[in-house]
Structure 1
């Protein structure tokens, strides 16, 4: 039976989350909470559904949360149960909004259920990792360049726009939103300038709980490419993370079409650690 999640289901859903955590190939986008109180709070204002077995125990879970221009799917997560039926019920509750989903490339059960329910794979994102200390030892600012930690919102947008046509998310941010983002304690910006003009930047998000720094963006102006500035920015970002002893690894990501980023991480000695497929179900496509 598929029904809305109840407060008393929290222990069963937590058991499913623990089961997922035990094996990378079971990964899907899922609630962050790992205790009952936090899980109840996180699910309180969301559409959360479970599949109940014959014995009354929860066999599978999925949920919907706000994301970008629509919703993001949590799950489908289950050791059994009717995953396609659970997804179909979630889609009904999406009210026609676009629904994104994320699953490990090797999570075949979840991916088959998503595709059976009309979700289309958009791209695969590969993740790479390396020790912060090893990368930080390579940190050098080339002659003729200056490293700084500041960009005006206008300069940030211009470099962001020039560096990669596929990027668009930050272009809609206001000056105040950009300034607030870079004022966060867990965000760091490393900028290279030449002749007073910004030519590249690397952006970090610090995650002490995971002992990790995430390289969220690397941008090099097209006119400056071919001079290994990507590797320079990567090493400078690692040196920034090395100021925090609790951060032991640096993680970077690249979509399947981002061949220069993949080459950068390979040449810098990062190791591939996981792959995630992004899915979208968009019933609004083709509407006038």
Structure 2
């Protein structure tokens, strides 16, 4: 990809924005200068049509133990783009993310050896409606902070797959929750946290994302998930610019899916996570 390709790539990004079924993991930038800045630390590839116009785009960026794939995006040869991206990955694992209904991208990914890992479903509701159920049980307390060690301990106990934050230092945890767009709702009983909910506020989209909801395994089955969901919505509703709350659950997270259904959230999108890992089976 050359700097002069940025306008054509931006046109592809806007084309993706026009239809949910075209969605893939893609750059956040929607202006040329921002896009060029994002591309500085990644391998960016484009496919040209016979007229020289950019018809396809994908990129590789550091992610977890390997790389994350942006795309494949476009109306051109997605298979050729993906083959070039795999060559440039130097054998590292590659993660990719596509809307469940993006059949063209998914077919290209699977033809190039990417395996679907799981589907993440997203749910949404008005914060005002959810916040009406907010209550704090009489022998409990709610706070907006939690010591880093206590946060890490509850996170470790309640999380089965999303373990990235266990590597965060105390300073990184504290810096995360010091951000203006991040809120933490902690529910405690007898001075001990039983669960927490994390929110990220997106004022531009008038939305709060429930990035994580944790209930200690020993405290499950007592309705704490529903209580924390409502308390998180009330926290989001305290920001006048926030109208909606969005939550997510992997396909194996049956308890979370049932919680969102009972609380009145509606399904709004689904994303399939793929992995190509050529290191599997190596000694």
TM-score under structure 1 normalisation? 0.96
Deviation larger for 48-57 or 168-177? 168-177
Q: Would the aligned equivalents of 1:160 and 1:167 in 2 still touch at CA under 8 Å? A: no
> Which among 174, 177, 188 is matched to residue 179 of structure 1?
174
Structure 1, unaligned stretches of length 5 or more?
none
| SS of the residue 1:28 aligns to | coil
Cross-structure match for 1:188: 183
Cα distance, 1:7 vs structure 2: 1.2
Per-residue deviation, residues 161-185 of structure 1 (Å, max 9, x unmatched) = 2223223111111111111111111
| SS of the residue 1:88 aligns to | helix
> Which among 40, 46, 51 is matched to residue 44 of structure 1?
40
Cross-structure match for 2:65: 69
* 1:255 maps onto 2:250 in alignment: yes
Cross-structure match for 1:83: 78
Cross-structure match for 1:164: 159
Structure 2, unaligned stretches of length 5 or more?
none
> Which among 8, 12, 16 is matched to residue 12 of structure 1?
8
Structure 1 segments of 4+ aligned residues over 3 angstroms from their partners:
none
Q: Would the aligned equivalents of 1:187 and 1:203 in 2 still touch at CA under 8 Å? A: yes
Cross-structure match for 2:27: 31
TM-score under structure 2 normalisation? 0.98
* 1:213 maps onto 2:190 in alignment: no
Q: Would the aligned equivalents of 1:98 and 1:283 in 2 still touch at CA under 8 Å? A: yes
RMSD value, Cα: 1.0
Cross-structure match for 2:117: 122
**1: distance between equivalents of 2:34 and 2:167?**
32
Deviation larger for 35-44 or 139-148? 35-44
- Give the 5 Å matches for 1:192-203: 192-203=187-198
**2: distance between equivalents of 1:70 and 1:51?**
24
Cross-structure match for 2:281: 286
Deviation larger for 108-117 or 66-75? 66-75
Deviation larger for 166-175 or 141-150? 166-175
- CA gap of 1:73–1:191, structure 2 versus 1, over 3 A, is same
Per-residue deviation, residues 118-147 of structure 1 (Å, max 9, x unmatched) = 111000000000001111121110121111
**1: distance between equivalents of 2:42 and 2:160?**
34
